[in-house]
Structure 1
Amino acid sequence: MPTAIDKTVGSKKRKSPKESGVPSSKRRAVAENESTESMARIQQLEDQISESRKHYNNIATLISMLSTDGPGTNPDLAAAVSLCRVFSRLIAGGNLTEPNHAAENEKIVVAWLKERCREYQKILASIMRESDTSSQITALTLSMRLLNERAIHIPGDDTQEWTSGLFRTIFEAVVEARDGQALQSEFLRKFVKPYEDVTYYTFLQVADYAATARSTEILETLVTLLSACDSVPSPEHDFEKFYIKTSKQNKKLLSFNSHKKRAQDAWLAVLQNNLSQPLRKNLLRVMVHHIEPWFTRPELLMDFLTDSYNVGGATSLLALSGLFYLIQEKNLDYPQFYPKLYSLLDADLLHSKHRSRFFRLLNTFLASTHLPATLVASFIKRLSRLALNAPPAAIVTIVPFIYNLFKEHPSCTFMLHRVIRDEEFKAELEAEGMDDPFDPAEPDPDHTGAIDSSLWEIESLQSHYHPNVASIARIISEQFTKQRYNIEDFLDYTYQGMLQTELGTGEKPLKRIPVVEYQIPKRIFTDRLLQEDGGLDTVPGSLVRALWDFS
């Protein structure tokens, strides 16, 4: 006969070891014991699957143990590793391949195993996207091992696993992973860089993935992956390092041109996507050394570079290198190159962190002796005018640069010394002066009238407050006995370095302490009393006190 239930006893909540006052050492022992029991349970289920097909339902049990809180969160990595071993043995044994004349029940088993394998692969991808760093890297390793087994043992076109199968899932999970910097670094270090087939199909996946508009964060990840693959193979390169042995049978993976074509398509897809301005600048910085070497047809970069060149500012400066490469090496026709280059010379340029890079390129662009004198004179005059408001570190670069231009283009030296034979006109100039014929608002450097002007700006800099600037500005007034200056010696000057030198903390010691005040006041912020004719009068303590209002 059933007895009455004591509700007070049955309703008591079971306390956890922590709540019941169990010491932490005992809690750790309990946790370790539970972990040991879980691993033993997992190993038992795995062994049963290997022994008999009647235990295939253990696969579903292991999958359920893999993530109890939902896909990708708090995964049981022991179950994940066990499942990888299980499916690797099943794939190698042909259990995931349907025989030609299989019975109906055999087809059902194979279909069920395939479905469980796809479920396992999705969970691994979810772990890579959402879990912690250690779990992400473990899931990546297991997924790539599974890819290897599938590509080798499942008959058919093994490239399908790379193009639209498991590798695409792995790639997308790596790119879209939350806090996935460590995962992406592991993917590059362990798989992409060492193995040429992984590199090839990574290029292929980037091209397909970037064909759709992506967020800036995703595009930055793609650029990181592509930039890491900076070792362009030579035509004589032997492709031997493959992650999957059967890749050696694919002729495309043994072709130098095929590898460059895939890399070219990947970079083009990224360049044609919705790039932010900072990302565009980063791409322009690596254009010559990391991007252009992969292109079999560098002229495909023309639209991206010309669009970047027309943006203006620092973006245009960064686009100069790649654009000049196309003009010089690939015969790109860009008729407005020098007018656009002339427009980049503004006050912001001399304060830009890319100033040194621009002067290096400008030195190359104006080196040709076939340039018209009117064009070179416009650049000289524009730089001279900008030097009036430039920081000292920029002026010490501009003056030697102008000196070199005069040595390379002697026809412009009329700007330095122009002989006036008409005495009446000479007297009029000395009495009234004249307007500068240079037109700073003219956008075309061939029509600015700079060749008829002079470099009065550089002469005025000979009275500059900074002694180094005043000293270097005098080279324009002296005889041109030096062949040319090495412009690299002046590009890395900074205002801080020049100031430290003058203060004695640099190479040049301070000869004399500069005088700041010739009369030291007794008071600064308070008024002082002056006694005159037996009375007291209030006198401001300092000019600073008179100027400031402390009310």
Structure 2
Amino acid sequence: MKITSIIELKGIPENAIRIFVTRTRFVLEYSLLLNEEPTIQLACIKAFHKIFLHFISTEELLLTLPEGVADEDLTKEEKYKQWLNDKYSTVIDILIQFTSSDNKAVREHSLCTLMKFVQQEGQTPITKLRDRQVYFPAKLFEKILSALVSDTTDKQDLIGRFLEYADYDDIRYYVLKFLLSSLKSKQQATPSDVYLNNLFSLLEQISFPQIEQDTCTHFLSKCPEEGAAPKMTSTKEHKKMFSHVWLDFLRHKLPASLYKRVLVMLHEKVMPHLTSPLLLSDFLTQSYEIGGAISLLALNGLFILVHKYNLDYPDFYEKLYALFEPSVFHVKYRARFFFLADLFLTSSHLPAYLVAAFAKRLAHLSLTAPQFGLTVTVPFIYNLINRHPNCKVLLHRPNSTTEVAEDPYLPEEPDPAKCQALQSSLWELQTLQNHINPDVARMCQRIDHPLQKDEIPLQDLLETSYTELFEKETKKKVKHASVNFDLPRGLLNHKSDRFAMCWTLT
């Protein structure tokens, strides 16, 4: 297209139009030719941002063509706008490519520029709308999301930059709509781990306001009129889509690292916003039965379903009992596990045999536990006995007259009801009274005295490590031991000094 035709069309000074055309062509050509130079790319992105935000806001890109019209029948203004829209599409494609750049600044600037285009298009549409029609640049937004949820390139760091837009209701709606469509397209295939990690990183950005309302009003684009977009403005519809997306996502086989990330945030960020948290019961029960760290992390969500949503899971405490094994002291989520286990065993309505089984199991593990583990297990046992007076027989049986030749407790029995813990005793704690660590020995000696009413707070003990134990020992003040009853008055002047009877110092 000739520059003169644009000048005739708009009546704008020739110099201004020539600058725009020259600048646009320069940016487009050099962004493609010098795409390995980050400084050039950043300059191109800034030019894209400035030029096209101006043309969107001034409705220069607004183009309405009659159906079936040929190019030669277009007016000069329509040809100009058509050319401008073609350049805009080219710019978008280049920015989408830049989101996969090796340079972090280029990736982030590209994403931010694209999202600014989304925001500006939402406020000033580039297509003519009917009355009360709601406009959101869905096609552009879908291109951005397709680039973020890549099958081959890890985009998790770039998705983190997307967080500033996640609070908008229209962004949430179209992200969920895209993810739902993307997951359905993967139903017959096995998605890559990269895809699943990218999708989860985007999905975990989705949030709902703390004070929820029936109608959504916080939009990045122009807020629709009342009744114009019932699905997009309905919080209930958002939660329905949110639930479908999570269920479809959890049906896929997740890599171990991603599995753990999901379980860590599931109870706090996902369950409160589902249409029915019980939809997660199958996933959580299957996770709980896997064993190891996966089972530990599934505890929280499963406990919420059992106690808050009345999930019937009769083997819950039996599975919890099985998790108390030597490796629990060395897992990453040790503190979280003991905190939850203490929470689960708080109820005073638990049968005595069950509490005794957990106390005995912990005492048995304490014999071989590391020192930092004992700072948790011993107070844990003390609190269990304190909450359940019927278990005090584990410490003292006043009416017993028979001597026990061997411990009746069955450590290999998986069922806490059959392990005979209530017929045993906590002799392990008496053994640990001779532990090399004086703090551990002192804690174990508390069983020789009447139990206090106040429980030992575990929160400050859960994160104890060897480093903390060493620091505590090195900060202790050393007390000098006395080696003599009488203070000496000189080298040979002590009254009972036999050496002075034989020698005289001169």
* TM-score, normalised relative to structure 1: 0.72
Quick one: which amino acid aligns to residue 184 of structure 1? I
1:288 aligns with 2:267: yes
Q: 1:69 — aligned with what?
A: 33
Contact 1:192 1:199 in 2 (8 A): yes
How many residue pairs end up in the alignment?
458
Quick one: which amino acid aligns to residue 360 of structure 2? K
Alignment of 1:330-479 (within 5 A): 330-419=309-398, 426=402, 429=403, 434-479=405-450
Contact 1:92 1:149 in 2 (8 A): no
Quick one: which amino acid aligns to residue 140 of structure 2? L
Shift of 1:410: 1.7
Contact 2:136 2:221 in 1 (8 A): no
Q: 2:216 is matched with which residue: 239, 242, 258?
A: 239
Moved more, 234-243 or 444-453: 234-243
CA gap of 1:45–1:496, structure 2 versus 1, over 3 A, is: farther
Q: 2:147 — aligned with what?
A: 173
Give the Cα–Cα distance (whole angstroms) in 1 for the partners of residues 134 and 251 of structure 2: 27
1:277 aligns with 2:265: no
1:392-419: CA deviation from partner (whole Å, max 9, x where unpaired) = 2222322222222222222222222224
Alignment of 1:106-185 (within 5 A): 106=73, 117-130=88-101, 132-148=103-119, 152-155=125-128, 162-163=137-138, 165-176=139-150, 183-185=158-160
Q: 2:72 — aligned with what?
A: 105
Contact 1:62 1:79 in 2 (8 A): no
* TM-score, normalised relative to structure 2: 0.77
Give the Cα–Cα distance (whole angstroms) in 2 for the partners of residues 455 and 178 of structure 1: 56
Quick one: which amino acid aligns to residue 407 of structure 1? N
Give the Cα–Cα distance (whole angstroms) in 2 for the partners of residues 260 and 90 of structure 1: 37
Q: Secondary structure at the match of 1:370?
A: coil
Contact 1:306 1:323 in 2 (8 A): yes
Q: 1:216 is matched with which residue: 193, 207, 224?
A: 193
Quick one: which amino acid aligns to residue 284 of structure 1? L
Quick one: which amino acid aligns to residue 373 of structure 2? A
Shift of 1:132: 3.6
Give the Cα–Cα distance (whole angstroms) in 1 for the partners of residues 71 and 4 of structure 2: 30
Shift of 1:320: 0.5
Give the Cα–Cα distance (whole angstroms) in 2 for the partners of residues 270 and 438 of structure 1: 44
1:312 aligns with 2:291: yes
Report sequence identity in percent: 32
Shift of 1:196: 2.4
Moved more, 479-488 or 65-74: 65-74
For structure 1, the 5+ residue unaligned runs are 1-42, 514-551
Q: Secondary structure at the match of 2:425?
A: coil
1:207 aligns with 2:180: yes
Q: Secondary structure at the match of 1:251?
A: coil
Quick one: which amino acid aligns to residue 468 of structure 1? D
Q: 1:509 — aligned with what?
A: 477
Q: Secondary structure at the match of 1:447?
A: coil
Contact 1:162 1:201 in 2 (8 A): no
Contact 1:200 1:259 in 2 (8 A): yes
Moved more, 137-146 or 258-267: 137-146
Q: 1:261 — aligned with what?
A: 240
Give the Cα–Cα distance (whole angstroms) in 2 for the partners of residues 475 and 312 of structure 1: 34
Q: Secondary structure at the match of 2:317?
A: helix
Q: 2:162 is matched with which residue: 180, 183, 187?
A: 187
Give the Cα–Cα distance (whole angstroms) in 1 for the partners of residues 110 and 386 of structure 2: 65
Shift of 1:441: 0.9
1:229-288: CA deviation from partner (whole Å, max 9, x where unpaired) = 444353337633322215454222322212222333333343333321111112211122
Shift of 1:482: 3.6
CA gap of 1:351–1:85, structure 2 versus 1, over 3 A, is: closer
Give the Cα–Cα distance (whole angstroms) in 1 for the partners of residues 397 and 406 of structure 2: 15
Larger radius of gyration: 1
For structure 2, the 5+ residue unaligned runs are 482-506
Shift of 1:104: 6.6
Moved more, 210-219 or 309-318: 210-219
Contact 1:369 1:408 in 2 (8 A): yes
